[in-house]
Structure 1
Amino acid sequence: MRRSALFASLTTAALAAAMAAAAPASAINTYKAQPAPERTEVGALIVQWDRDGNPGTPDVVDWYCSGTMIDENTFLTAAHCTTDWPTGARFYVSLAQDVQGALDAAGTPAEKAAVGVEGTQHTSPDYPGNSADAHDIAVIEFNDTQAAELAQRWPFNPATLPAAGQFDALGSRALDAATWQVAGYGTEEAKRGPGGQTHPGGGVRMKAEVGFNALNKTWVRLAMNESRGYGGACYGDSGGPNFVTLDGELVLAATTITGDGPCYATNVSYRLDTPSARGFLAEFVDLP
């Protein structure tokens, strides 16, 4: 299944009833999760959109997905986070540790939007693609003024992207021996209650170690089983980073896209070393 639920998070009950738009991915699940204040390059995608049919007064502002700054003015996220919104939707990015707290403290839609910095979304023209290559990749691009505001509010070092074909060259044995980590703002794993399953939490930047499972043509499949000592991603983590440490360097290997519905077992992430991912990103950043 896709995490839009693809791992986009449903932060308000009204959202699902109001529209069939990209849903925010969930938070890092609780069983190995830690706060990630040091991952200042990881941020939340905030969307302002109209729900009442009056586009002159956008009435909904909320965070929906995660993502990563990959240079001074480019925020990488998932295409399913930036598509299917009503006309006039506007996109903002916050690199704050607690985005949900900032939104809760704000009052009007304009004040909530000001929690982030506005940018322009660019979605892969090949999305949604197919199971072999979903082309589920997008960026939020900032002009010079917006980029300066972003850096002033939240100083950060952009993530390091992989070289072309780097993971194929390394092979599964080396990737299995490496340390992997997922980060994002998503919700927690499913909790069972009288009303059925819920996914609490979300909106705070967290991280968890995950394990390598398999390398496919455009996907990295990562284990997040508690029994194996791992945590993992959930709804609202869509578009967020999956890092791997190679030769002591933290490399942004892939972005969270989907996984199992309860968020117990598997994180399926879109590789960033492939020709299709690099072909899209080359329009916006200098690639290694």
Structure 2
Amino acid sequence: MRRPLTAAATALAAIASCVAFAAPSSAINTYNSAPAPERTEVGAFVGLYDRDGDGYLDRLRWYCSGTMVDDDTYLTAAHCTTGGLPDDRYFVSLEQDVQGLLDAYDVDHGPVPTDPAALEAYLETKTQYFLDQGWIVEGTPHQDPDYPGNGADSHDIGVVDFADWDVTPQDVWDFIPATLPTAGQLDELGSRALDAADWLTVGYGTSEAVRGPGGHTHPGGGERLKALVDFNALNPTWVRLAMNASRGLGGACYGDSGGPNFVELDGELVLAATTITGDAPCYATNVAYRLDSESARDFLEPFVDLP
């Protein structure tokens, strides 16, 4: 979980690369992780977009993670929802293996065209097929207007809203929206209680860095996975979570940006923070944006009934 594996457009990539407060990264590591079919409130953020700005839609793919926080609001990161072009379209999928569905379509309906106009037509047909199958739902992205902020508060929070659309995720999938924290709840608990609690990170991202010819790669991604992480530190707008394999932990990597980091409090999973960044190889630290902060709650208030 951390910055998107691929941006929705060139502009989004440029914006993400300018945020220098931490190294980019995003996805659930393969070590000490497992599939998460029971976490039906967690979904992949999918885009149909013009990657190179030539006027033709040329990519349909997942590129971030997120969580349903009510019937028609999907919570993710601002760097996932900003920077697109006017004709780009955005969707959420709560399917377990989104990449598998995308790949299977191409096997059954390919070859994928290379001509820009033919490729756009192919992708539009593919998108409609996914809509008809109930594998994706189209929505409207929003992000904190103060994004990208700074190191103290990145304002890196966004949503996909379905309130004005005929079909919402609740019409398609069975899920119970995640429970958000109350105002300042993590501060009230304090570091000792947070360290004693169980933490779980969930997302669709790639694996940790793999050494190979030409340097590191981050294979995989597109399937909902979960991993235990451990509390490290609490900052005014950040939770830092350890994900060292030697301690039996997993963690987030590329494509997990916007995905949930749950903490178990009194037997209930509370969505404490969303994955934003961490160390580039995805070995050590997940840096997540707190949802009990004043700035996060100010952004969410128009979309969600806050606790």
| TM-score of the pair, normalised by structure 2 | 0.85
Alignment partner, residue 110 of structure 1: 124
Instruction: Say whether 1:129 aligns with 2:149.
Output: yes
Instruction: Say whether 1:44 aligns with 2:63.
Output: no
Instruction: Say whether 1:100 aligns with 2:99.
Output: yes
Q: Note if contact 1:43-1:68 (Cα within 8 Å) is conserved in structure 2.
A: yes
Give the structure with the higher percent helix: 2
Q: Note if contact 2:29-2:282 (Cα within 8 Å) is conserved in structure 1.
A: yes
Measured in 2, the distance between the counterparts of 1:97 and 1:272 equals 25
Shift of 1:161: 0.2
Point out where structure 1 has 5 or more consecutive residues left out of the alignment: none
Alignment partner, residue 286 of structure 1: 305
- Deviation by residue 1:204-228 (Cα, 9 ceiling, x = unmatched): 0000000000000000000000111
Q: Note if contact 1:44-1:63 (Cα within 8 Å) is conserved in structure 2.
A: yes
Q: Match of 1:162, as an amino acid?
A: P
Measured in 2, the distance between the counterparts of 1:211 and 1:37 equals 22
**Residues 124, 72 of structure 1: alpha-carbon distance in 2 compared, 3 angstrom cutoff:** same
Measured in 1, the distance between the counterparts of 2:52 and 2:303 equals 34
Q: Note if contact 2:81-2:143 (Cα within 8 Å) is conserved in structure 1.
A: yes
- Deviation by residue 1:83-107 (Cα, 9 ceiling, x = unmatched): 1222322110000000001111235
Shift of 1:11: 9.1
Q: Alignment partner for residue 212 of structure 1, among 201, 216, 231?
A: 231
Instruction: Say whether 1:7 aligns with 2:3.
Output: yes
Alignment partner, residue 217 of structure 2: 198
Name the Cα RMSD after superposition: 2.3
Shift of 1:116: 1.3
Alignment partner, residue 70 of structure 1: 69
Alignment partner, residue 231 of structure 1: 250
Q: Note if contact 1:73-1:147 (Cα within 8 Å) is conserved in structure 2.
A: no
**Residues 225, 286 of structure 1: alpha-carbon distance in 2 compared, 3 angstrom cutoff:** same
Q: Match of 1:151, as an amino acid?
A: Q
Q: Match of 1:116, as an amino acid?
A: I
Q: Note if contact 1:29-1:187 (Cα within 8 Å) is conserved in structure 2.
A: yes
Q: Match of 1:231, as an amino acid?
A: G
Alignment partner, residue 113 of structure 2: none
Alignment partner, residue 33 of structure 2: 33
Residue aligned with 1:209, SS:
strand
* Percent of pairs with identical residues: 65
Residue aligned with 1:279, SS:
helix
Alignment partner, residue 111 of structure 2: none
Alignment partner, residue 270 of structure 1: 289
Q: Match of 2:105, as an amino acid?
A: A
Alignment partner, residue 139 of structure 1: 159
Q: Note if contact 1:70-1:160 (Cα within 8 Å) is conserved in structure 2.
A: yes
Alignment partner, residue 140 of structure 2: 120
Q: Note if contact 1:33-1:208 (Cα within 8 Å) is conserved in structure 2.
A: yes
Number of aligned residue pairs: give it. 280
Shift of 1:146: 4.2
**Residues 126, 21 of structure 1: alpha-carbon distance in 2 compared, 3 angstrom cutoff:** closer
**Residues 203, 64 of structure 1: alpha-carbon distance in 2 compared, 3 angstrom cutoff:** same
Shift of 1:51: 3.8
Measured in 2, the distance between the counterparts of 1:272 and 1:181 equals 15
Q: How does 1:81-100 map to 2 (within 5 A)?
A: 81-100=80-99
Alignment partner, residue 119 of structure 2: none
Q: Note if contact 2:210-2:216 (Cα within 8 Å) is conserved in structure 1.
A: yes
Q: Note if contact 2:49-2:84 (Cα within 8 Å) is conserved in structure 1.
A: yes
Q: Note if contact 2:261-2:274 (Cα within 8 Å) is conserved in structure 1.
A: yes
Larger radius of gyration: 2
Q: Alignment partner for residue 181 of structure 1, among 174, 190, 200?
A: 200
Higher alpha-carbon deviation: 21-30 or 108-117: 21-30
Q: Note if contact 1:27-1:203 (Cα within 8 Å) is conserved in structure 2.
A: no
Shift of 1:60: 1.3
Residue aligned with 1:170, SS:
helix
Residue aligned with 1:270, SS:
strand
Measured in 2, the distance between the counterparts of 1:30 and 1:46 equals 22
Measured in 2, the distance between the counterparts of 1:99 and 1:26 equals 17
Higher alpha-carbon deviation: 26-35 or 122-131: 26-35
| TM-score of the pair, normalised by structure 1 | 0.91
Q: Note if contact 1:25-1:66 (Cα within 8 Å) is conserved in structure 2.
A: no
Residue aligned with 2:232, SS:
strand
